Amino acid sequence: MASLARLRHIKRLAIPRAAFQVRSVQTTADTTQLHNKPDDVHTGAPMTVRLHEDSFKGYNCEIPDLEVQITKDELLEMYKQMQTVRRMEMAADALYKAKLVRGFCHLAIGQEAVSVGLEHGITKTDRVITAYRCHPFAIMRGGTIRGVIAELLGRQDGMSHGKGGSMHIFTPTFFGGNGIVGAQVPIGAGVSFAQKYLGEKTCTFALYGDGASNQGQVFEAFNMAKLWNLPTVFVCENNKYGMGTSAARSSSNTDYYTRGDKIPGLQVNGMDIIAAKRAVEYARKWAVDDEKGPLLLEFVTYRYGGHSMSDPGTTYRTREEVQRMRSTQDPIRGLQKYIEEWGVATEQELKALDKEAKAEVDQAVEEAKQSPEPQSVDLWSDIYYKGTEPPRMRGREREEVG
């Protein structure tokens, strides 16, 4: 009678909270220091900044150089992009609450430093694949806000013609959102094999969350990538909660950057966009220039909202925790502080960028709303390659219905 109830006294599920925090990198968004600034940043000359010494933790690898060269233009571009993708997610939130967006919708508000930082560290021909919370990546990889919103609305102008919805958005270098978390990771390994085979000087960033990190397929992909020395950068976006279960309650090892066995790993402050960019550059050099095979990046980040729109996000964590993260570690406010303190731009100039982002999103939402519903012919299109469809597909014609 080995009832599990007998285990009650052992309390093996209790995880010491402090130990978890000790292991984490810094997740402050505003601790990067200006090191060296040219006399006039407005000429486009780069300034030198120094990341907080706890921005990274390495596992079987050196941590990246903490000194980063960055220009005024890039800082402002990052700021504008983060504001834009956050505005877009907020618009999606409002459209969902107005019941115009149906279906499942997962927002990445709070995690902007990862999606925008990733894009600033890679090239246009690198590939990216993820699962849920894919909207910002789609935008950064060449998608349009209008296309994303129209997809959520299920309209013809949606990036998948309204057939997919939130987790089904693709661009030529972005292999999408995917509906089964974890399933995208071996796909990413396959994509990077092709890159290597073709001799492309590119790599694939295969993203997954702390929740999906426990799917068996993720480990299968690790093994293949290391075995064949593929240019795959596995990226764990650790936002601390896999749906409603905290990392410590789902994962025996919450140091996700160490879970690749022989694959070295790097834990990164995912709330400081400059640290994120630096880590991505480092990973890209590792996989592509140095041909050292796969690397595992873990971005420690935070999602402000619930897992999906139907999750208030406050049953498994406190409102205070969310509020604290928002007020003290917000990636956009962190960057804003850098920009203002380093004299890159004034508050007024940033406000103008905020306005531009808002106007851009508002216009895209209006355009998306104008897009018509899909045509009925699209119900059967793109199931098989055009011209090779089976002669009968039930549902198209009257005589095929019965």
Tokens of 37: 């600034």
From the CB of 268, what's the least distance to other proteins, in Å? Answer: 22
Residue 20 or 104 having the CB closest to other proteins: 104
Q: Which residues contact 142 (CB under 8 A, 6 or more apart)?
A: 124, 171, 172, 173, 174
Torsion of CA 83, 86, 88, 91, to 10 degrees: -120
Tokens of 126: 């690198």
From the CB of 67, what's the least distance to other proteins, in Å? Answer: 38
Residue 46 or 244 having the CB closest to other proteins: 244
From the CB of 394, what's the least distance to other proteins, in Å? Answer: 4
Chain Cα centroid distance, residue 400: 43
Residue whose tokens read 């045509």? 375
Q: Which residues bind other proteins (CB under 8 A)?
A: 1-5, 7-8, 13, 98-99, 102-104, 154-155, 162-165, 167-168, 179-183, 211-212, 214-217, 242-245, 249-251, 310-311, 315-316, 373-374, 376, 379-380, 383, 393-396, 398, 402
From the CB of 168, what's the least distance to other proteins, in Å? Answer: 6
Tokens of 20: 């978890």
Q: Which residues contact 357 (CB under 8 A, 6 or more apart)?
A: 80, 83, 84, 87
Q: Which residues of 280-315 are buried (b: 16+ CB within 10 A; e: fewer)?
A: bbbbbebbbeeeebbbbbbbbbbbbbbbbbeeebee
In the three-class reduction of DSSP (H, G, I as helix; E, B as strand; rest coil), residue 233 is classed as strand
Please answer whether residues 283 and 341 qualify as being in contact, where contact means their C-beta atoms are separated by less than 8 angstroms: no
Residue 91 or 113 having the CB closest to other proteins: 91
Residue 34 or 243 having the CB closest to other proteins: 243
From the CB of 238, what's the least distance to other proteins, in Å? Answer: 13
From the CB of 250, what's the least distance to other proteins, in Å? Answer: 4
Residue 16 or 199 having the CB closest to other proteins: 16
Residue 158 or 334 having the CB closest to other proteins: 158
